[in-house]
Structure 1
Amino acid sequence: MNEDHYIKKIDRVTSILVQLQSKPIVRAQDLADKFEVSVRTIYRDIKTLENAGIPIFGEAGSGYSLVDGYKLPPVMFSKEEVLSFITAEKLMQNFSHESLDSHYNSAMEKVKSVLRNSEKNLVTDIENQINIYSYQPEKTDSIKNIIPTILESISEKTQLKINYESAKTEASERIIEAVGIFYEFNYWYVMAFCTMRKDYRQFRVDRILKIIKTENPFHQEYGKVADYKQKSNTEKVQVKLLVEKKIMPHIMNSMKYYGWISDEETENGMLITFETSWIDEGFPRWLITFADYAEIIEPEYLKDTMADLIQNISKKLK
Structure 2
Amino acid sequence: MNRIDRLSAILIHLQSKRRVTAQEIAERFEISLRSVYRDVKALQESGVPIIGESGIGYSVMEGYRLPPVMFTNEEASSLLLAGKLAEISTDPAVKKHFENALFKIKSVLRYTDKEQIETLEENVIVIPSSYNTSKDANAQYLSELQRAMVTKRVVHMEYCKAYDTTVEARDVEPIGLCYYGNAWHCIAWCRLRKDYRDFKMSRIVKLYVTDTVFDNSSHPSISEYLSKMTAREKQLSEIIIRIRKDVARYIGGQKYYYGFVSEEICEDDVRLTFLTSYPDMFARWILMFTDGLTIESPADFKAQVKEMCEKLYRHHV
Q: Give the TM-score of the pair, scaled to structure 2.
A: 0.77
Of residues 151, 160, 177, the one that matches 2:146 is 151
Change (3 A) 1:206 1:27: same
Return the letter of the residue paired with 1:254.
Y
Structure 2, unmatched stretches of 5+, are none
Q: CA RMSD in A?
A: 3.7
Alignment of 1:214-253 (within 5 A): 214=210, 215-218=212-215, 219-223=217-221, 224=223, 226-227=226-227, 229-230=229-230, 241-244=239-242, 250-253=253-256
Say whether residues 1:139 and 2:134 are aligned partners. Answer: yes
Q: CA deviation at 1:138?
A: 3.9
Return the letter of the residue paired with 2:143.
P
1:119-142 superposed Cα distances (whole Å, 9 cap, x missing partner): 21221122222222332534348x
Cα pair 1:239 1:298 within 8 Å, conserved: no
Aligned match of 1:298: 300
More displaced, 48-57 or 190-199?
Answer: 190-199
Residue 285 of structure 2 aligns to a residue in which SS?
A: helix
Residue 162 of structure 1 aligns to a residue in which SS?
A: strand
Alignment of 1:1-318 (within 5 A): 8-59=2-53, 61-135=55-129, 137-140=132-135, 146-167=141-162, 168-214=164-210, 215-218=212-215, 219-223=217-221, 224=223, 226-227=226-227, 229-230=229-230, 241-244=239-242, 250-256=253-259, 269=271, 272-276=274-278, 279=280, 283-291=282-290, 292-295=292-295, 297-299=299-301, 300-306=303-309
Cα pair 2:155 2:172 within 8 Å, conserved: yes
Return the letter of the residue paired with 1:96.
T
Q: CA deviation at 1:303?
A: 2.8
Q: CA deviation at 1:155?
A: 2.8
Q: CA deviation at 1:145?
A: 6.7
Residue 201 of structure 1 aligns to a residue in which SS?
A: strand
Inter-partner Cα distance in structure 2 for 1:32 and 1:240: 40
Inter-partner Cα distance in structure 2 for 1:241 and 1:95: 32
1:184-242 superposed Cα distances (whole Å, 9 cap, x missing partner): 2322111223233333322111211222334141332313153255588xx97986643
Inter-partner Cα distance in structure 2 for 1:53 and 1:180: 38
Cα pair 1:175 1:194 within 8 Å, conserved: yes
Structure 1, unmatched stretches of 5+, are 1-6
Return the letter of the residue paired with 2:308.
T
Inter-partner Cα distance in structure 1 for 2:154 and 2:219: 13
More displaced, 96-105 or 301-310?
Answer: 301-310
Residue 157 of structure 2 aligns to a residue in which SS?
A: strand
Residue 35 of structure 2 aligns to a residue in which SS?
A: helix
Return the letter of the residue paired with 1:81.
E
Inter-partner Cα distance in structure 2 for 1:82 and 1:88: 10
Return the letter of the residue paired with 1:139.
S
